[in-house]
Amino acid sequence: MHSMTFSSPPPTTTIPRCKSLQRLPPVSAMASSPIAPPSRHHITHSMPHEKLEVFKSLESWVSENLLDFRKPIEKCWQPSEFLPDPSQGFDRSNEEVCELRQRVLGLPDEYFVMLVGNMLGEDSLPTYQTMINTWDGVRDKTGSSSCPWAIWTRSWAAEENRHGDLLRTYIYLSGRVDMMMIDKTTQYMIRAGMDNGTENNPYMGFVYASFQERATFMSHGNMARLAKEAGDPVLARICGTIAADEKRHENAYIKIVEKLLEVDPDTTMLAISNMMKKRIVMPQHLMYDGQDSNLFENYSAVSQRLGVHTTRDYGEIIEFFYNTMEIGKT
């Protein structure tokens, strides 16, 4: 790694690196245990066929309970609300861009490491929606299915899509990073996909989703705190707003797992146990920019150092998960 200031000309790496990072011990995953997760055996379609009926029987419950977690589009925030407004004319719009760039001058390079990493996680939404649509019993069979499970997945994806759009535009306008490398890294990530070990099994998939949504809620929330302390209240509001979305989505996925514990406790407990044994991997675990084969490890080290998401957080999420689900009382 080498030191850089992120001024013009742009850096040649996706995630800015500093000499000080060379001394950081690698962390295997931003929200994982410090030991690298075991290799997957790529088990597929592990849910017994007869369990399909469980998810079919829950469709009315999804309509009556889960879809209420959606926000009406007309009441949703949109990325343009947080960004310079070009409709005000060139001069005023240019002033707002200059104001943005002035605000971010106080942000350390490492904060942009986290912003870019969080943005990449959000920008890989096509991978996540594809992953959910591999889960037996809840997939969107047509691409626009009226099945309540499919409606929820599309609604969730539509809300999540705003996160990456907003972060990407803010980062672009900051002038602090090499956007060409970010674009390449996004393409590499989506092409690589992800391996979260859910085995096409919705029991395991919804456990993963509830855990992961809480992890992203914490990560964006901590970035909001750091941005505020560094003197960028707009970025703090952006990260806090995204965190609020993640929290609402976390509540939705937790509600699904709680319902599964109610209707099929044995299979759900087995799914929870299996996912905890595998350890939850972050969606960005296959992050690559075409140059740095240790990009995710470097990103994770910065996250650990800044306290954005740490191994302690991983343990706290597990404890929260078990307490919320009242596991052991089912």
Catalytic position from the list 163, 220, 285, 309: 163
At residue 246, φ and ψ (nearest 5 deg) are -60, -35
Residue 316 in marked binding region: no
Catalytic position from the list 110, 123, 159, 213: 213
Among left, alpha and beta (phi > 0; psi -120 to 50; other), residue 307 is left
Catalytic position from the list 109, 110, 122, 123: 122
Catalytic position from the list 77, 134, 241, 324: 77
Check if 77 is active-site.
yes
DSSP class of 85:
-
Check if 68 is active-site.
no
Please spell the DSSP secondary structure of 119-185, one letter per residue: HHHHHTHHHHHHHHTTSTTT--SSSS---HHHHHHHHHHHHHHHHHHHHHHHHHHHT-S-HHHHHHH
Kindly list the distances between the CA atom of residue 108 and the CA atoms of 8, 13, 55, 90, 143, in Å, as whole numbers in the listed order.
16, 16, 47, 29, 43
Is residue 211 a contact partner of residue 280, using CB atoms and an 8 Å limit? yes
Residue 249 in marked binding region: yes
Cα distance between residue 139 and residue 127, in whole Å = 14
DSSP class of 66:
I
**CA-based Rg of the chain, rounded to a whole angstrom?**
20
Cα distance between residue 74 and residue 13, in whole Å = 38
Catalytic position from the list 123, 136, 160, 313: 160
Half-sphere exposure of 240 (CA within 13 A, CB side): 12
Count other C-beta atoms under 10 Å from residue 42's C-beta: 8
Residue 159 in marked binding region: no
Residue 213 in marked binding region: yes
Check if 249 is active-site.
yes
Residue 246 in marked binding region: yes
Residue 163 in marked binding region: yes
Check if 49 is active-site.
no
Catalytic position from the list 123, 178, 232, 246: 246
Check if 163 is active-site.
yes
Annotated binding-site residue numbers:
122, 160, 163, 213, 246, 249
Annotated binding-site residue numbers for Fe cation:
122, 160, 163, 213, 246, 249
**Residues catalogued as catalytic:** 77, 122, 160, 163, 213, 216, 245-246, 249
